[in-house]
Each structure stands twice: as structure tokens, then as C-alpha cells.
């Protein structure tokens, strides 16, 4: 028996990267998993993979910024598996730009996917979590909500908004038995960052710099975020709500490096 046997979980942005690792981990612990992604082939591939080794999974192609599509996904998971116990609102896009350089179009898109998308996942999951007598929500924030990174104004704003939304909802739905937390990963090696490295002026220097920005001296791997997500979903986190768990290799506690005195 896995820790999540009998539970039904939904994960957005699960075709690749951190979301895929989370879906894999939840399934490995026994959950039926609903997989949503804007990449329909990727979502279907992940659902098929998971179904081969674990409980049956369900896939849907959605854009998390579209209310009707998020509603349809959540309803589809409940129709398929009969209930919903948790949602991991993970889908996000990395759109760079400083406050004075970001276009209005880019601002609107990053807010629509990263922040509105998380809210929509909560909005449509909460009635089903209530119906199940309680459940868990895990929202994907970032260390960029906690410390400043040059060149990421819109992205950082969305991640800060996710922490505020998580805290607000945690106090509102706690007595309904719904625990709501978020994760703040440091730099995790996923297709999102691989794209950033590919287009960097000096990829090797950027990689070395980002590795050195973590107290552990290295990037994280998607599975290292997935274990934290699975913990927050599980009943082992039964007294944890409203928190932002940093899975950041010590990035946010690292002060100046080199000789201190
Ligand atoms: N990789 C990191 O270093 C890092 C650090 C902190 C936080 N995060 C956050 O973790 C989450 C996952 O990041 P990742 O690195 O795995 O990214 P990724 O780009 O590798 O994967 C993101 C997934 O989300 C999907 N997606 C994108 N837009 C979507 C939309 N509108 N609707 C539905 N699905 C959509 C993509 O198709 C993809 O499968 C994001 O919210 C990101 O901001 C990542």
C-alpha cells in the first residue's frame, strides 16, 4: 500500500519537468492522477506511461488560463475517478523582462498562466475537495517570490501573488479540511531552464553562476521537488497549511560567498 493509495490527484503542467516528476511520484505512491497540459501529446504520453506501471491515469489538453478548460479538466478527473483529493497547480511559463522593458502582452500572459491559472485550479477544485470532506492544494511558487532576480519582474510578481493567494485561501478553507500550501523551488533542471541556457550569451558562465547561487552548490532535480509535493499532498502533512516550503538547496539563505573575514 502506497501513502496515496485510493487518492485522486490532479496535476497541471504535467507533460514535462517538475509537473511530470510530481505526477510520476503521486502515481508511484498509489494515486490516480489527472494530467493536464497545453501539450496534448505530452499529457497523453505521461498518462499512458503512468498507467502501465501504476493506477490508471487521465490526460487532458488545457490552457490553465482558460476558465472553461480548467473546469472541464477538474470535472473530467472527477467523472473518471469519482472524487478529487488534491490538486497541484504547477503549470507556469518563464517570461523574462525588467519592469521597464516587459511588454504589456508578456505581462498579461505570464500573469494569466502563472497566477490566474493557479487561482482557476483552486476555484474549480475546491467544491470537489469539500465534497470529499477535505483535501490538499499545492501551488507552485518559486524562490523568485522571496528574493529578487534581475530581469524577471512579471514572473516574480506572479510567484509572490501565489504565496499571498495560498495564505489567504488556507485561512478561508482550513475548517473545511482543505490544506493549502505552496512550494518555492530554487533552480531545477527542467526544459524551462534548458531553454534559458540555450539562448544565453554564455551558457557555461550562467550555469556556473546558478549552481553557485545555491548553498548546496548545485541545481535541483525535478524529483527533489516531487518528493516535497507528495509530502504536502499526503496525510503526513495533516497539520501543515498556509506554508511556503522552500525546496531551494539553500538559495534563499546564501549570503555573500568567499572569505567572510
Ligand atoms: N525549473 C525551475 O527552476 C523552477 C523554479 C521555481 C519554480 N518553477 C515553477 O515550476 C513550475 C514548472 O516548471 P518547469 O521548470 O517544470 O517548467 P517546464 O517549462 O519544463 O514545464 C512546464 C509545463 O507546463 C506546461 N504549460 C505551460 N503553459 C501552460 C498552460 N498555459 N496551460 C497548461 N500547461 C501549460 C508546459 O507545456 C510544460 O509541460 C512552473 O510553475 C515554474 O514557474 C520552476
Domain ranges for the chain, please list them. 8-248
**155 belongs to the catalytic site:** yes
User: Is 190 touching ligand 1 by the criterion CB < 6 Å?
Assistant: yes
The CATH number assigned to the domain with range 8-248 reads: 3.40.50.720
- Nearest partner of 85 among 187, 190, 238, judged by Cα: 238
Cell 479540511, residue? 177
Q: Which of 192, 197, 229 to mutate to test the pocket of ligand 1 (most atoms within 8 A of CB)?
A: 192
Residue with CA closest to ligand 1 atom 21:
17
Residue 119 grid cell: 487561482
- pLDDT at position 60 is 98
Determine the number of helices (DSSP H) and then strands (DSSP E) in the chain. Answer: 9, 7
- Nearest partner of 9 among 238, 232, 173, judged by Cα: 232
Q: Is the pLDDT reported for residue 184 higher than 90? A: yes
pLDDT tens per residue across span 28-55:
999 999 999 999 999 999 999 999 988 9
User: Is 91 touching ligand 1 by the criterion CB < 6 Å?
Assistant: yes
Residue with CA closest to ligand 1 atom 18:
192
Q: What is the mean pLDDT of residues 177-186?
A: 99
Q: How far is the CA of 110 from the centre of ligand 1 (A)?
A: 11
- pLDDT at position 161 is 99
| pTM for the structure as a whole | 0.98
| Cα–Cα distance, 22 to 233 (Å, whole number) | 11
| Cα–Cα distance, 72 to 135 (Å, whole number) | 20
pLDDT tens per residue across span 196-251:
989 999 999 999 999 999 999 999 999 999 999 999 999 999 999 999 999 999 99
**Number of Cβ within a 10 Å radius of residue 59:** 25
Calculate what percentage of the chain has a pLDDT beyond 90: 94
Q: Is the pLDDT reported for residue 258 higher than 90? A: no
Atom of ligand 1 nearest to the CA of 144: 6
Q: Is the pLDDT reported for residue 4 higher than 80? A: yes
Q: What is the mean pLDDT of residues 54-76?
A: 97
Rounded CA Rg of the chain: 18
Q: How far is the CA of 76 from the centre of ligand 1 (A)?
A: 22
User: Is 18 touching ligand 1 by the criterion CB < 6 Å?
Assistant: yes
Amino acid at each position: 500500500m502506497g501513502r496515496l493509495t485510493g487518492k485522486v490527484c490532479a496535476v497541471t503542467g504535467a507533460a514535462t519537468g517538475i509537473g511530470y516528476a510530481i505526477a510520476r511520484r503521486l502515481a508511484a505512491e498509489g494515486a490516480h492522477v489527472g494530467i493536464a497540459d497545453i501539450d496534448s501529446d505530452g499529457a497523453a504520453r505521461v498518462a499512458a506511461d503512468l498507467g502501465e506501471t501504476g493506477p490508471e491515469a487521465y490526460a487532458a489538453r488545457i490552457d490553465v488560463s482558460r476558465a472553461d478548460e480548467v473546469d472541464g479538466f477538474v470535472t473530467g478527473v472527477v467523472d473518471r475517478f469519482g472524487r478529487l483529493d488534491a490538486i497541484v497547480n504547477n503549470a507556469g511559463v518563464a517570461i523574462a523582462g525588467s519592469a521597464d522593458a516587459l511588454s504589456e502582452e508578456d505581462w498579461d500572459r505570464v500573469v494569466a498562466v502563472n497566477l490566474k491559472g493557479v487561482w482557476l485550479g483552486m476555484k474549480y477544485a475546491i467544491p470537489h475537495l469539500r465534497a470529499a470532506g477535505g483535501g490538499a492544494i499545492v501551488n507552485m511558487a518559486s524562490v523568485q517570490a522571496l528574493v529578487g532576480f534581475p530581469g524577471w519582474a512579471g514572473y516574480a510578481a506572479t510567484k509572490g501573488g501565489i504565496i499571498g493567494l495560498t495564505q489567504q485561501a488556507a485561512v478561508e478553507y482550513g475548517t473545511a479540511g482543505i490544506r493549502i500550501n505552496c512550494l518555492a523551488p530554487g533552480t531545477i533542471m527542467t526544459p524551462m531552464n534548458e531553454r534559458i541556457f540555450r539562448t544565453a550569451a554564455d551558457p557555461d558562465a550562467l550555469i556556473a553562476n546558478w549552481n553557485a547561487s545555491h548553498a548546496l552548490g548545485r541545481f535541483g532535480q525535478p524529483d527533489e521537488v516531487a518528493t516535497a509535493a507528495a509530502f504536502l499532498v499526503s496525510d503526513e502533512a495533516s497539520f501543515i497549511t498556509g506554508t511556503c516550503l522552500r525546496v531551494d538547496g539553500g538559495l534563499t539563505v546564501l549570503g555573500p560567498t568567499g572569505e567572510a573575514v
